Amino acid sequence: MSKLPEYYPNVHLILEPTKNLVGKFIGDDPSGATIHYTASRNLEATHKTLMDRGLNYHFIIDREGKVIQTAQLTHRVHHAGKAKWLDKSPNRSHVSVALLSWGLLNDGKTWVGKRLPVEETAHRRNNTWDKATMAQEEALLHLCRWLVCMGIPPAGICGHDECCLPKGRKVDPGGVLSWTMPEFRRLVTSAMT
């Protein structure tokens, strides 16, 4: 029996993709969380693309920091492709969280050629990124602290770029966040002690 409720208590909107749930987590409860970005700022288009491909995220955090839940926390979804974190497959053992963001930019432009205003970008890790808003980062931190309170160990939280196989295949969340993932794990833990 899962210790996690089906829904996050601070969820703003629920979009349930019943056709993309792929069973219970190994051991009934997730042992980690994988952080992604969506490569788009359009919630509806992102959700449709994921559904069409048999993929999903449990949560998508929009630019205003609203948390949209797209799968119950009692079920797993495919979100990471070939990946491993702490000797487990994130697809079988992790909650997935994505920030609504274009992600890695090419010369300040999105993958569809749209140029973003400079104030919405950040130069980090030798690249330019569609940076997360402060509201998104606050919502992500709050969500991950809640997941830790529900039993997910902070060490189980990873970026998609950290767990993907082969290494270097994915870059999310990369420089979208103002923290590195080790810094984020410490930040999640710091309020817990």
pLDDT in tens, the chain (193 residues): 467 888 999 999 888 666 677 888 888 789 999 999 999 999 999 998 988 888 899 999 999 999 999 998 988 999 998 999 999 999 999 999 999 999 999 988 999 999 999 999 999 989 999 999 999 999 999 999 999 999 999 999 999 999 999 998 999 999 999 999 999 999 999 866 5
Q: What is the pTM of this model?
A: 0.95
CATH of domain 13-190: 3.40.80.10
SS (H, E, C) the chain: CCCCCCCCCCCCEECCCHHHCCCCECCECCCEEEEEECCECCHHHHHHHHHHHCCCCCEEECCCCCEEECCCCCCCCCCCCCECECCECHHHHEEEEEECECCEEECCECCCCCECCHHHEEEECCEEEECCCHHHHHHHHHHHHHHHHCCCCHHHEEEHHHHECCCCCCCCCHHHCCCCHHHHHHHHHHCCC
